C-alpha cells in the first residue's frame, strides 16, 4: 500500500507490458459497453413498474386516466421494456464483461481493438435505430416481433446490427483464445474463459434462427420487397434462437458464481471439471429445447413437442450441478465465518457486502424461478399456463432476478474499476438489493397466482372485462411490488451516477479474476469443433422435422403483413 494517496488511483497490478494496453481498454472499451448497457437499462427498467400499475384494478380505479410517462402507449412501453432490457442491456453488458474476463484471465489484450470498437459501433447504431423506431411509435411489436405484425425497417436493421456486432465479438474472443493457446500448448484455459467461449459458440448457432427470420421474412416484408410470410415458421425460427438466448444471459451470471464468488466469499470452487460439464451441457442442450415455447402452436406436432420437453429436462441438469457446486462454495464460506450445524452456513453469509449479497439474493430468486420454469416446461401443465401472467412471473425471477441481480453485483465492482473510484454508497447498494429481492418475490408470486387464474400476460388490463376479484388481488400485489421495484431502480441509478461522478474514495479492490490453469479437467473439453458438430447434429434432429412441418410447399407464404394499429393488410 502506498502511504500518501493524493489522487484516487488504481492499485498497480503486477503488470507485464501487454497488460497496460489491457488496463487502458478497461476504462474505454469495457467502460463504453457497461455504461451503454446501464444507460439502456435506465430507460427499459422504468417501464416495468408502470406496467404493473396499468394492470392493477385498484390503481386504475383510483386514477382512471393514468398513463405511463414518456412512452404513453402501453404496448410501446412494453416493447421498450422487453427490447431494451432483454436484448440491448444484456448484450452490451455481456460483451463488456466477456472482454474483461477474457483479457484478465488470459492476461493479454483482445486480439484486435479495431474489431472490438467496430462491433461496439455496430451495436450502438443498432440500439439507436431500434430506439428511434419504438419511440416514434413505428415498432409496437414487442420483443418477440412475431409476424404478421410489421414494424418500421429501422427496427429490424437495428436488431441485425446488434446480432452481427456480437458475431464480430465472437471472432475477436476466439482469435484472442487462439493466440493464448499458441503460447500455452497443453494448458487448460481458465474456467471463466472456458464458459465465455461456450457461451459464444452457443450464441452463434442460436442466432442463425433469428437471422434467417429477420433477413428473409421480416426485413424484406417491412421494406416491401416481399408481400407475404409464414407466421408459424417465423415463430419456430424465433424460438430456435429464443431459448439459447436465455442461457446467453445466464452463463455470464454463472461465470460470476463459479469463478468470482469463491474469491469474494473467501471460499474455493468445489469442482472445476463439473463446472465445465455444466457449461458444456448448457451450450449443447440449449438448442434442441426451444419448441417448449411452441406447445400451444397449431402447426407443430405433439411428437416434436414431446422431444423438446424431454430435452428441456436434460438442460435443467447443469443448473442442478451448479446448485451443488455453488452450494459447496457457500458452505465453505459460511463455515469459515463460524457457521455451525448442518445448515447454519445458509445463514452465515456475507449479507452486508453488496457484491456477495446481490448474488445470494439472485440465487434465492433463481430457486423459485427455476422450478416455475420446470413446471411450465411440462407440456401438459403448460396448457394451463401458456401466455398467462405466470410466464413473466417466471422470467422476472430468473432474468430480472438471478441474472440481473448478478449483473448488478458485477456492476458494483466493475464500475469502480472503470472509473477508478470506490462504489458511491454501500448502504444504498444493500437497500437496492434487498428491495429488489422482496419486490421480485412479491411480483413473481402475484403474477404466478394471477396466471393460474387465467390472467393473460402482455395485456393492458386497464378496462378489460375479464378480471375476477381474486385475480385482482394478485394483480394489485404485483403493483405494490412495482412500487418497491421502482424504489429499488432509483437506488440503483443513484449509486451508478454517484460512482461515476461523485465518488471520491479510491478503489481498493481489484477484479475478482482467477488466472492460470486448473487441474483435473480433461483437455478434450476444449474441442470446440466437436461440440459445434454435436450441436448442429442435435439441432438437425430436433428442429429439422419441426421446420419441415411448418413448410407449405403447395401455397408457399400466404400471410400478408399488418401494422399493429390497423386490421387492413399492407400493400
Residues 45-74 that bind other proteins (CB under 8 A): 73
Binding piece for other proteins, criterion CB under 8 A, among 90-98, 230-238, 428-436, 482-490:
230-238
Binding residue (CB under 8 A) for other proteins from 85, 127, 521, 539? 521
In whole angstroms, the minimum distance from the beta carbon of 304 to other proteins comes to: 10
Which residues within the stretch 396-435 sit at the binding site for other proteins (CB under 8 A)?
none
Q: Using the rule CB under 8 A, give the single segment among 171-179, 289-297, 360-368, 530-538 that binds other proteins.
A: 289-297
Torsion of CA 382, 383, 386, 392, to 10 degrees: -50
- Residue 544 as a binder of other proteins (CB under 8 A): the answer is no
Closer by beta carbon to other proteins, 104 or else 276? 276
- Report the candidate in 211, 205, 237 with the shortest Cα–Cα distance to residue 551: 237
Among 271, 336, 473, 514, binds other proteins (CB under 8 A): 271
For residues 237 and 356, which CB has a smaller minimum distance to other proteins in the complex?
Answer: 237
Residue 463 has φ and ψ, to the nearest 5°, of: 95, -5
Q: Which residues pair with 562 in a beta bridge?
A: 149
- Verify whether residue 527 is a known catalytic residue: no
Determine which one of 33, 81, 188, 243 is catalytic.
Answer: 243
Our CB check for other proteins shows the closer of 371 and 501 to be 371
Contacts to other proteins from residues 367-396, by CB under 8 A: 374, 378-384, 386-388
Q: Which is nearer to other proteins, 101 or 151 (CB)?
A: 151
Q: How far apart are CA 118 and CA 450, in angstroms?
A: 45
560 counts as binding other proteins under rule CB under 8 A? yes
Closest approach of other proteins to the CB of residue 476, in Å: 17
Residue from 185, 338, 463, 469 binding other proteins (CB under 8 A): 463
Q: What per-residue string of b and e applies to 163-179 under the rule 16 or more CB within 10 Å gives b?
A: bbbbbbbbbbbbebbee
> Any contact of residue 291 with other proteins (CB under 8 A)?
no
DSSP 394-423: HHHHIIIIIIHHHHHHHHHHHHHHHHTB--
Is 258 catalytic? The answer is no
Among 394, 419, 421, 445, the active-site one is 394
Active site residue 243: yes
What is the nearest approach in angstroms of other proteins to the Cβ of residue 559? 4
Among 68, 119, 461, 491, binds other proteins (CB under 8 A): 461
Shortest Cβ 548–other proteins spacing (Å): 12
Q: Which is nearer to other proteins, 210 or 294 (CB)?
A: 294
269 close to 259: Cβ distance less than 8 angstroms: yes
CB of 465 to other proteins, least distance (A): 6
The residue among 118 and 231 lying less far from other proteins, judged by its C-beta, is: 231
The H or E element containing residue 229 is strand 228-229
Which CA distances in Å does 220 have to 131, 144, 398, 563? Answer: 20, 17, 34, 15
Q: Which stretch binds other proteins (CB under 8 A): 59-67, 147-155, 205-213, 400-408?
A: 147-155
User: How does strand 559-560 pair with strand 228-229?
Assistant: antiparallel
CA angle 561-562-563, nearest 5°?
135
* Residues in CB range of 422: below 8 A, 6 or more apart: 8, 416, 499, 503, 505, 506, 507, 508
Element (H, E) at 237: helix 231-255
If phi over 0 gives left and psi between -120 and 50 gives alpha, with beta otherwise, what is residue 112? Answer: beta
Residue 571 interacting with other proteins (CB under 8 A): no
Question: Is there a catalytic annotation at residue 458?
Answer: yes
Helices 31-54 and 404-419, interaxial angle, to 10°? 140
Comparison of 498 and 560: residue with beta carbon closer to other proteins: 560
In the annotation, is 457 catalytic? yes
Dist. CA 406–CA 56, nearest whole Å: 29
| Contact with other proteins (CB under 8 A) among 232, 264, 372, 435 | 232
Least CB distance to other proteins at residue 50 (A): 16
Cα dihedral 142, 147, 152, 155 sign: positive
Figure out which of the listed residues 28, 62, 324, 509 binds other proteins, where binding follows CB under 8 A: 324
Nearer to other proteins, 317 or 490 (CB): 317
Active site residues: 243, 247, 394-396, 457-458
Amino acid at each position: 500500500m502506498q502511504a500518501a494517496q493524493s489522487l484516487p488511483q488504481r492499485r498497480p497490478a503486477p503488470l507485464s507490458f501487454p497488460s497496460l494496453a489491457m488496463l487502458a481498454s478497461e476504462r474505454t472499451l469495457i467502460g463504453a459497453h457497461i455504461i451503454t448497457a446501464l444507460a439502456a437499462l435506465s430507460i427499459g427498467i422504468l417501464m416495468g413498474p408502470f406496467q404493473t400499475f396499468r394492470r392493477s384494478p385498484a390503481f386504475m380505479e383510483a386514477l382512471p386516466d393514468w398513463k405511463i410517462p414518456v412512452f404513453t402507449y402501453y404496448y410501446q412501453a412494453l416493447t421498450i421494456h422487453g427490447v431494451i432490457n432483454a436484448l440491448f442491456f444484456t448484450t452490451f453488458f455481456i460483451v463488456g464483461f466477456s472482454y474483461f474476463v477474457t483479457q484478465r484471465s488470459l492476461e493479454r489484450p483482445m486480439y484486435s481493438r479495431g474489431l472490438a470498437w467496430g462491433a461496439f459501433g455496430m451495436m450502438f447504431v443498432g440500439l439507436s435505430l431500434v430506439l428511434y423506431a419504438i419511440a416514434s411509435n413505428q415498432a409496437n411489436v414487442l420483443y418477440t416481433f412475431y409476424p404478421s405484425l410489421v414494424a418500421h425497417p429501422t427496427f429490424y436493421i437495428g436488431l441485425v446490427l446488434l446480432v452481427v456486432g456480437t458475431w464480430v465479438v465472437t471472432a475477436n474472443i476466439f482469435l484472442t483464445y487462439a493466440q493464448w493457446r499458441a503460447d500455452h500448448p497443453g494448458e487448460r484455459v481458465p474456467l471463466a474463459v472456458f464458459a465465455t467461449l461456450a457461451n459464444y459458440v452457443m450464441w452463434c448457432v442460436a442466432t442463425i434462427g433469428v437471422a434467417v427470420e429477420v433477413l428473409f421474412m421480416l426485413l424484406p416484408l417491412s421494406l416491401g420487397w416481399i408481400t407475404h410470410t409464414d407466421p408459424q415458421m417465423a415463430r419456430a425460427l424465433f424460438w430456435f434462437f429464443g431459448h439459447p438466448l436465455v442461457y446467453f444471459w445466464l452463463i455470464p451470471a454463472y461465470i460470476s458464481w463459479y469463478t468470482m464468488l469463491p474469491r469474494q466469499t473467501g471460499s474455493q470452487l468445489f469442482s472445476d471439471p463439473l463446472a465445465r460439464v455444466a457449461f458444456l451441457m448448457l451450450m449443447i442442450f440449449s438448442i434442441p429445447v426451444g419448441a417448449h415455447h411452441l406447445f400451444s402452436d397449431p402447426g407443430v406436432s405433439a411428437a416434436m413437442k414431446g422431444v423438446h420437453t424431454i430435452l428441456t429436462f436434460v438442460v435443467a441438469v447443469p443448473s442442478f450441478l451448479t446448485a451443488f457446486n455453488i452450494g459447496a462454495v457457500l458452505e465453505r464460506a459460511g463455515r469459515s465465518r463460524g457457521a455451525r450445524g448442518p445448515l447454519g452456513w445458509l445463514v452465515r453469509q456475507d449479507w452486508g457486502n453488496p457484491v456477495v449479497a446481490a448474488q445470494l439474493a439472485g440465487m434465492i430468486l433463481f430457486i423459485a424461478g427455476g422450478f416455475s420454469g420446470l413446471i411450465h416446461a411440462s407440456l401438459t401443465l403448460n396448457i394451463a399456463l401458456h401466455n398467462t401472467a405466470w410466464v413473466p412471473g417466471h422470467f422476472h425471477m430468473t432474468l430480472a432476478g438471478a441474472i440481473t441481480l448478478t449483473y448488478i453485483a458485477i456492476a458494483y465492482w466493475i464500475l469502480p474499476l472503470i472509473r477508478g473510484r470506490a462504489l458511491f454508497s454501500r448502504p444504498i447498494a444493500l437497500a437496492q438489493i434487498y428491495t429488489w429481492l422482496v419486490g421480485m418475490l412479491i411480483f413473481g408470486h402475484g403474477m404466478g397466482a394471477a396466471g393460474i387464474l387465467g390472467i393473460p400476460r402482455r395485456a393492458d388490463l386497464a378496462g378489460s372485462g375479464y378480471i375476477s376479484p381474486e385475480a385482482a388481488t394478485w394483480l394489485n400485489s404485483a403493483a405494490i411490488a412495482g412500487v418497491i421495484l421502482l424504489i429499488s431502480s432509483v437506488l440503483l441509478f443513484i449509486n451508478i451516477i454517484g460512482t461515476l461522478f461523485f465518488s471520491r474514495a479510491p478503489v481498493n479492490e481489484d477484479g475478482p479474476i482467477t488466472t492460470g490453469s486448473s487441474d483435473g479437467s480433461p483437455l478434450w473439453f476444449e474441442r470446440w469443433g466437436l461440440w459445434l458438430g454435436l450441436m448442429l447434429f442435435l439441432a438437425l434432429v430436433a428442429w429439422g422435422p419441426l421446420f419441415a412441418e411448418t413448410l407449405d410447399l403447395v401455397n408457399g407464404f400466404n400471410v400478408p403483413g399488418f401494422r399493429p394499429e390497423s386490421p387492413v393488410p399492407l400493400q
